[in-house]
Amino acid sequence: MSNAMFGNFSNYGFVKADVPQEVLDSITTETNKPLDVSMASGLAGNIEHEYQLTECMPIVDKYVSGLCNEYQNHWDPQFTNHNLDKRNWKLQKLWANFQTKGEFNPPHTHNGHFSFVIFLKIPYLMQDECSTVNVRNSNMPRAGMFSFQYINVFGELREAPQPVDKTFEGTIFLFPSVLTHQVYPFYTSDEKRITISGNVFGESDEV
């Protein structure tokens, strides 16, 4: 038996969690109302309907701030120069994305220290998306998916696709804002895919 030891380089990932029902209820109440402050011109999404949210911000702020603390407890924030070693988290922007068939979000990053996406409504199943004629023979099926992109220790671009579909409703992904991510188009539903995104900023412990 070899006495070899194996080591991992320090790196970062994402937090995935089930959003508490009271947070989802508050978001749903606001997204069911007419929304008129468009965010589309300031966002990367090739999506027509993206709107600012305000009423549900306090409860979302409290919840995601806790997730930011959990992220810090899991990954040492001092292994990066991207200023994750912060406290007093504050949600500064919150918006809803009403994505329709064929719309997409190209690879992009966000402002702030942490960002997140909450999957409120996803009107399709992944097996149906991957069975469409343009996807079923691909060796990289991505229809309807949410995906992260990152560079590995060899300098190679890698992708971590997340097969989000109806079974992901009520799920949140929280991640450092500088982590590149994207949303692929879906094809099998005429209903809207509703997601909630936001940017979280923190303050330094220094006085």
Range of the domain at 77: 15-203
What digits encode the pLDDT tens for the residues 25-57?
Answer: 999 999 999 999 999 999 999 999 999 999 999
Contact 176, 85 (CB under 8 A): no
Angle, in degrees to the nearest 10, between helices 57-74 and 21-31: 140
Q: Does some domain include residue 7?
A: no
Q: What is the 3-state secondary structure (H, E, C) of the chain?
A: CCCCCCCCCCCCCCEEEECCHHHHHHHHHHHCCCCCCECHHHCCCECCEEEECCCCHHHHHHHHHHHHHHHHHHCCHHHCCCCCCCEEEEEEEEEEEEECCCCEEEEECCCCCEEEEEEEECCCCHHHHCCCCCCCCCCCCCCCCEEEEEECCCCCEEEEEECCCHHHCCEEEEEECCCEEEECCCCCCCCCEEEEEEEEEEECCCC
Confidence of residue 1 (pLDDT cuts 50, 70, 90): low
What digits encode the pLDDT tens for the residues 155-190?
Answer: 999 999 999 999 999 999 999 999 999 999 999 999
What domain count does the chain have? 1
Q: Is the pLDDT of residue 206 over 50?
A: no
Q: Does some domain include residue 2?
A: no
Confidence of residue 129 (pLDDT cuts 50, 70, 90): very high
Confidence of residue 2 (pLDDT cuts 50, 70, 90): confident
CA 40 to CA 90: how far, in whole Å? 22
Q: Does some domain include residue 197?
A: yes
Q: Does some domain include residue 4?
A: no
Give the mean pLDDT of the chain. 94
Identify the residue with better confidence: 200 or 77.
200
Q: Does some domain include residue 193?
A: yes
Residue among 52, 190, 169 nearest 120 (CA)? 169
**Two tokens, residue 123:** 């009107």
Domain with residue 133: its CATH number is 2.60.120.620
Confidence of residue 79 (pLDDT cuts 50, 70, 90): confident
Q: Does some domain include residue 95?
A: yes
pLDDT, residue 10, reads 84
Q: Does some domain include residue 52?
A: yes
Q: Is the pLDDT of residue 91 over 50?
A: yes
